[in-house]
Structure 1
Amino acid sequence: MLRTRITLVAIIAVVAAILIIVVPSYRVVTPLIADQLDRGLSDRADTVLAALAAGAPLPPRPDTTEQLLLVDGTVRPLQPGREPLPVTEADLAVARTGQGVNATDIDIDGVGHGIVTKGRPGGGAVMVSQNFAEAERIDREFLWRTTGITALALAAAALACWLAIGRILRPIRRLADATEHIATTQDLGTTLPAADRGEVGELTRSFNTMLAALRFSRAQQQRLAEDAGHELRTPLTSVRGSAELLQRAHGRLAPEDEAQVLATLVQEAKALDELVRELVELAADQYAVEDPMPLALSDIAQDTAERFRRRTGRAITVLLDDPATVSARPRALARCVDNLVDNAVKFSPRDAPVDITVQRTSVTVRDHGPGIATADRAAVFDRFYRADRTRATPGSGLGLAIVHDIIATHGGTVRADNHPDGGAAVGFTLPAP
């Protein structure tokens, strides 16, 4: 769960921050306390020496033990009722000379003690021991309190992070619920939650854009299926009627009538073949798998013109006006120019030329036919659209629709108009490189 993972990361960061602050601070404070205890022991030894020199009574302290160490190693307690302190060779050396200092730490009955031995002028030494039980208690209390405060801080940080992250992730959770609903129900009309500012808002807007594209794609698919069904119905009906006629006739038709029926069958089968091929290309967009690459529009126009000259025997002229290089999918762009020329060939008289003009990033194909009616210019790129006066012309009505779809995916625009000298001028413009 994202919320839990982010909270754990935040807690780890808080723990790291606390450790970075507390551990160095503890390591700095501990030597200072130890130094303070050592100075306290030294001061107490000086006080004992001063009291002995003045013959004054020694002010008692509950946490210290004092004794006099003579030159011969004899120990004389300075406070009644206290256990004598252990004497080492280093302590005896100080007592023999009456000079120097020896400090050491020992455990007595499991409690830490600090012992300092200071030489006494004239011989001997005083030994002072301090019980570190209070200091150790304070140290333990410091550690426990630090641990407790750290635990409380972590709990507070975890709660704050959990609540804050929950609030931050709430729009993402709503978005996830909405997308899951869409994935489950396939209802592309579901409204996503309102977009906030920042990254979550950008993500929501991106999802809305994706949904709009999916809705448009689904609508296009439904429209394609409906239009395809409508367009397929006519040639299929013709093929079925001709086949049934031949079946019922059983060879009783006159040869010329039978030849006419068979010609109709072949013509409608060709129309069906072309229509199905165009539908597959339009629906699958088989050229989308290509990667865009730099292409010279003049080369594509010349190649298309040469193919159609060989195929139709028509005069295909290419006019170049500062042609440019564009970034496009090679076969898809060639398909566009092919469709434009094929369309022009259909509507031009057999002895009339077809002109291909390449100007910068634009390609325009002009025929010498009747032109396009004003009412039809806005619809010639629609799927299956055919003007009333062109319905008798062979074709599926998908050629220009394919041009429109391919050019739109490249970020370009299409256009259809009439040439001032007659005929239609249909073409496209691609973005400049």
Structure 2
Amino acid sequence: MTLLAAVAVGLAVAFVSLGAYVTVRQQMYRNLDDSLKDRAVQAANNGVLTNYYNLQRISSDALGLSDIRVGVYLDSGQKVNAKLSPLPPMNATELAVARGTAPDGYSIETVGTPNSPHFRVVAVPARFCPREDDQACDDGETLQAALVVAQSLKPIDRTLHNLGIVLWAIGLLGVIGAALAGNAIAQSGLRPLARLTAAAESIARTEDLRPIPVTGSDEITRLAVAFNAMLAALARSQDRQRRLVGDAGHELRTPLTSIRTNLDLLAQADKRGGLRAEDRQQLLDDVRAQMDELTTLIGDLTELARDTPQVRDAELIELSNVVEDALLKVRRRASGVEWDVQLSPFPVWGDERLLGRAVTNLLDNAAKYSVPDDTAGHRTDGEPLGRVTVRLLDGVLTVTDSGPGIAEADLPHVFERFYRSSEARSRPGSGLGLAIVKHAAEQHGGMIYARNAPNAGAQFTLWLPHAATQSR
């Protein structure tokens, strides 16, 4: 900020100084040119200086021309200077005026070198009388010439030099002042940023995610507000991870305890001579069921623990095919359920594995609650024990079961991790299936919601955007 202020003020002062210098220089030259031209024309018209006799005898002081050089340049190339006045600079430009070939009829130019005085030279046309006596010349005796008046630019150069020094001094002082002011403003303006930096370093050191105090309404304040929002999001993520770990430990303890108990019983029975074949098979089946439940729970935990904000490496998927594959899996496990399926093609961009798992969870959940708890997975007299309706229309997947529905108090919580209603605790499951469905829907830019169907049973609706409207 200090450098920026100094550079900005320096450039501004440089442009203003250059403009002022050029303007003053041009105005001084313009005033000098007007004065020289007016005096030269007046002197040429009154005939005093265009007479050889007068030019050699009358001092230029008497004509108010004491600060300039005066001379006559004849069209023949002859140069005549005034009394007590050095000859002014004369060259081809003034000769052109004397011969009447100058474009404007007169000329104004600056003559001089770095090692010689600078003059502003004005030449105007005149008729010159060459008589050396005081008698007037007849018209036929006058010669065509140019009256040349030259004034030294030393006073103007000195003035411009002093002006340049003043402008440089003012510019330098302005840059120094701007740098000091910029440094003061930077220190004052960045002090809140320094506090924010110290707070960030303290958070990194102590892992304390409490928000930092915010005062003011400037950009630094906006940064602090955004930083606090980030801390809040990070705190929520940590809280979710802690709850996930705690709930996972609780849920894992149940199948592990059951497996350990069954294995201990099996080991003790073997020491006493073993169990009957049917009892041993029942115990092994129970262990196998607990292992399956544990495997499913670990897979669900792994999926939820990723907590990624969006699907990576998405591919074009036909959603109806995903639903059909999930139906094949669930139908084998739920033989006592009648399925009413109607699917229409619908392409989406996404992760086929994650979407398949979400749809499978929806169908498993519907099949589980569509049959009575005491007859799940069995038929009675060949009649189905439950009915599940599946519809996929325009990217909206609706799954409706024939179960008792969802209690109003449980509806807001059905998609929470490990949440299980009192009715669900008697059935197998970990409470993660619907959480994975919500996770998959959010990752694909969709949504999932639950309600009770008009004719009893729970209804889950999963919406996903069309592939044409999704970003890959």
Fold match, TM over 0.5?
Answer: yes
Aligned partner of 2:419 in structure 1 is: 385
Q: For the Cα contact (< 8 Å) 1:302–1:318, is it kept in 2?
A: no
Change (3 A) 1:73 1:344: closer
> Which runs of 5 or more structure 2 residues have no equivalent in the other structure?
100-104, 133-144, 372-376, 378-383, 467-472
Deviation per residue, 1:104-162 (Å, 9 max, x gap): 83469843345678774125898765333212111212222232333344445555555
SS in 1 for 2:460: strand
Structure 2 residue 130 is the aligned partner of structure 1 residue 122 = yes
Q: For the Cα contact (< 8 Å) 2:59–2:83, is it kept in 1?
A: no
Deviation per residue, 1:246-281 (Å, 9 max, x gap): 556664442336545544433322222111111001
CA distance in 1, matches of 2:29, 2:95: 28
Which residue of 8, 11, 14 corresponds with 1:10? 8
**Residue 88 of structure 1, CA deviation:** 7.2
**Residue 19 of structure 1, CA deviation:** 6.5
Structure 2 residue 414 is the aligned partner of structure 1 residue 412 = no
CA distance in 1, matches of 2:94, 2:37: 22
Matches for 1:16-415 after TM superposition, within 5 Å = 17-18=15-16, 21-22=19-20, 25=23, 28-29=26-27, 31-32=29-30, 35-36=33-34, 38-39=36-37, 42=40, 46=44, 49=49, 53=54, 58-59=60-61, 63-64=67-68, 78-79=83-84, 84-85=86-87, 105-106=111-112, 110-113=116-119, 120-122=128-130, 130-158=151-179, 175=196, 178-191=199-212, 193-194=214-215, 196=217, 205-244=225-264, 251-256=271-276, 258-285=280-307, 288-290=310-312, 301-310=323-332, 312-313=334-335, 314-319=337-342, 329=350, 331=352, 332-349=354-371, 350=377, 351=384, 352-358=386-392, 362-408=396-442, 410=445, 412-415=447-450
Deviation per residue, 1:145-189 (Å, 9 max, x gap): 232333344445555555666666666665555445444443322
Deviation per residue, 1:286-339 (Å, 9 max, x gap): 79324778987666545543443355444321257xx89696635344433221
CA distance in 1, matches of 2:77, 2:339: 132
Structure with larger RCO (C-alpha < 8 A, sep 6+): 2
Aligned residues: 420
CA distance in 2, matches of 1:73, 1:312: 128
**Residue 14 of structure 1, CA deviation:** 2.1
Q: For the Cα contact (< 8 Å) 1:45–1:116, is it kept in 2?
A: no
Q: For the Cα contact (< 8 Å) 1:41–1:130, is it kept in 2?
A: no
> Which runs of 5 or more structure 1 residues have no equivalent in the other structure?
none
**Residue 395 of structure 1, CA deviation:** 1.8
SS in 1 for 2:398: strand
Over aligned residues, Cα RMSD in angstroms?
4.9
Q: Percent identity?
A: 32
Letter in 2 for 1:415: A
TM-score by length of 2: 0.68
